[in-house]
Amino acid sequence: MVDFFCGAGGFSLGFKQLGFDIVYAVDNWNPAVETYRLNNPNTKVERADAIVLAPERIPEADVVIGGPPCTEFSGSKLGGGGNIQKGMALVYRFFHFVQRLRPRWWVMENVPRLLHSLPPALPLKNLGICQEGLFDIPKVAVLNAADFGVPQKRARVFLGKYPDPVRSHSEKGVTELDGTTYESWIPMRRALDAFPSPLGRPEQGRLVRDPLYDLDVDEGELRDHFGRECVLTEEDAMKNRRQKMEHPYYGKMRFPDDVDRPARTVMATQIKPSREMMVIQESVDGSTLFRRPTVRECATLQGYPIDYAFVGGSLSTRYRLVGNSVPVGLSRAIAAAIMQEALSSVGV
Ligand SMILES: C[S@@+](CC[C@H](N)C(=O)[O-])C[C@H]1O[C@@H](n2cnc3c(N)ncnc32)[C@H](O)[C@@H]1O
């Protein structure tokens, strides 16, 4: 399997958990490459610009996945500096790799807004391939991570050639007429309650139980959680409350966030107050404060196990690595569907 624009490795991880062998991954951003390498020591990971990367360098693979950067298509950028052409160049480059490598399955993740920029037919010539014909995209599906057991509502489009992943959760949790049962969406609280307060001191010998995996980590070993950086100043909290509750033309949003629902989409930027920023309320010594979820809490909201390491000098780099990721539970569901199809094609 090959992962283009591998980032911190969320998309890969779902496949790896099911036993897929990831032979090659590429990204052009140092923190992503270092994070991916650290967590995937058996994968060849290259730091390279996908635009100039020669397809001949890439090993053969049955599965090709990739999440080209989506910032250029995101809603907030469209009013301002979003460069759709630049974003499309990377999407087309991914299609170019798919056409050249001809994997049996391929999956590309992006924001649903990408679909506004995608032409109904895509001549191979537009992908830099000197051949007549059109590029084939057999499936386009918008999937919500919450439907796959991730404690976050995150709708993303998945284009490619892959079987439908099986949903395990629904908003209320129901049993359909055909007997299919769905569990209720996992609330944000389930993820947050697993962690000690980031404002306390880590206690060596006390264990943190991963809310999503059969895994314990000593508090003293828990990374990216403890410290006061997550606390909002009073001024930032007030500003954020106004942005969410008194905006002149956008609708009202909850302040602080409702922890009894799945988290809102975990964004790559969490530092500056914005409507997208998640804010939770915490009581400390009888007084109330507002804070953002820690990098570790955001990682759990993205479905990473609590021992996954993120390499990045600054706090904003680590929030970005996490916020950019494909939620692991969702990628695992896609991987499971592909695995199932592979096994049934050989009669298992
Ligand atoms: C949305 S993130 C991918 C996240 C990843 N799929 C995951 O699940 O963790 C997009 C990645 O594309 C990388 N990127 C942006 N431009 C690139 C380029 N020209 N060549 C290679 N990688 C690039 C960014 O550094 C970023 O890590």
CA angle at 218 for the pair 216 and 219, rounded to the nearest 5°: 120
Is the pLDDT at 273 greater than 70, yes or no? yes
Residues 6+ apart with CB under 8 A from 162: 105, 106, 107, 139, 334, 337, 338
Residue 248 has a pLDDT of 80
Residues 96 and 148 both lie in one domain? yes
- Domain membership of residue 183 (yes or no) is no
Reported as a pLDDT band with limits 50, 70 and 90, residue 79 is very low
Residue 75 has a pLDDT of 59
Instruction: Identify how many contiguous H helices and E strands the chain contains and give both numbers.
Output: 10, 13
Q: What 3-state DSSP class applies to 90?
A: helix
Residues 232 and 93 both lie in one domain? no
Reported as a pLDDT band with limits 50, 70 and 90, residue 82 is low
What is the rounded distance in angstroms from the CA atom of residue 228 to the CA atom of residue 294? 10
Ligand 1 centroid vs 103 CA: distance in angstroms? 20
Residues 307 and 333 both lie in one domain? no
Tens-digit pLDDT profile for residues 225-234 = 999 999 999 9
Residue with tokens 């999440």, as numbered in its chain = 67
Reported as a pLDDT band with limits 50, 70 and 90, residue 80 is very low
Residues 223 and 162 both lie in one domain? no
For ligand 1, whether the C-beta of 110 sits within 6 Å is no
Averaged pLDDT, 280-297: 93
Q: Which two tokens stand for residue 20?
A: 């897929």
Give the residue among 116, 68, 111, 71 at the shortest CA–CA distance from 92.
68
Tens-digit pLDDT profile for residues 182-238 = 999 999 999 999 999 999 999 999 999 999 999 999 999 999 999 999 999 999 999
Averaged pLDDT, 301-315: 96
Q: What crossing angle do the helices spanning 30-39 and 315-323 adopt, rounded to 10°?
A: 70
- Domain membership of residue 70 (yes or no) is yes
Residue 260: Cβ within 10 Å count: 9
What is the rounded distance in angstroms from the CA atom of residue 240 to the CA atom of residue 255? 8
Ligand 1 centroid vs 14 CA: distance in angstroms? 17
Residue 251 has a pLDDT of 84
Question: What percent of the chain has pLDDT above 90?
Answer: 84
What is the rounded distance in angstroms from the CA atom of residue 136 to the CA atom of residue 24? 24
Residues 10 and 153 both lie in one domain? yes
Residues 208 and 330 both lie in one domain? no
For ligand 1, whether the C-beta of 27 sits within 6 Å is yes
Residue with tokens 């270092």, as numbered in its chain = 34
On whether the CB atoms of residues 82 and 74 are closer than 8 A, the answer is: yes
Q: Which is higher by pLDDT, 329 or 176? A: 329
Q: What 3-state DSSP class applies to 302?
A: coil
Residue 272 has a pLDDT of 84
For ligand 1, whether the C-beta of 86 sits within 6 Å is no
Ligand 1 atom nearest to 12, measured from its CA: 8
Give the residue among 40, 45, 44 at the shortest CA–CA distance from 30.
45
Is the pLDDT at 285 greater than 90, yes or no? no
Reported as a pLDDT band with limits 50, 70 and 90, residue 324 is very high
- Domain of residue 137, residue span: 2-177+322-345
What is the rounded distance in angstroms from the CA atom of residue 174 to the CA atom of residue 185? 11
What is the rounded distance in angstroms from the CA atom of residue 323 to the CA atom of residue 295? 9
- Domain membership of residue 303 (yes or no) is yes
Instruction: Give CA 128 to chain center in angstroms.
Output: 29
Active-site residue flag, 230: no
- Domain membership of residue 91 (yes or no) is yes
- Domain membership of residue 182 (yes or no) is no
Residues 35 and 163 both lie in one domain? yes
CATH number at residue 338: 3.40.50.150
Is the pLDDT at 47 greater than 80, yes or no? yes
On whether the CB atoms of residues 3 and 334 are closer than 8 A, the answer is: no
Is the pLDDT at 167 greater than 70, yes or no? yes
For ligand 1, whether the C-beta of 270 sits within 6 Å is no
Residues 87 and 111 both lie in one domain? yes
Residues 105 and 193 both lie in one domain? no
Residues 6+ apart with CB under 8 A from 125: 131
Give the residue among 150, 165, 174, 183 at the shortest CA–CA distance from 264.
150
Reported as a pLDDT band with limits 50, 70 and 90, residue 249 is confident
Average pLDDT across the chain, whole number:
94
Residue 72 has a pLDDT of 67
- Domain membership of residue 39 (yes or no) is yes
Ligand 1 centroid vs 65 CA: distance in angstroms? 12
Residues 101 and 250 both lie in one domain? no
For ligand 1, whether the C-beta of 50 sits within 6 Å is yes
- Domain membership of residue 77 (yes or no) is yes
Domain count, the chain: 2
Residues 146 and 56 both lie in one domain? yes
Residues 331 and 298 both lie in one domain? no
Ligand 1 centroid vs 200 CA: distance in angstroms? 34
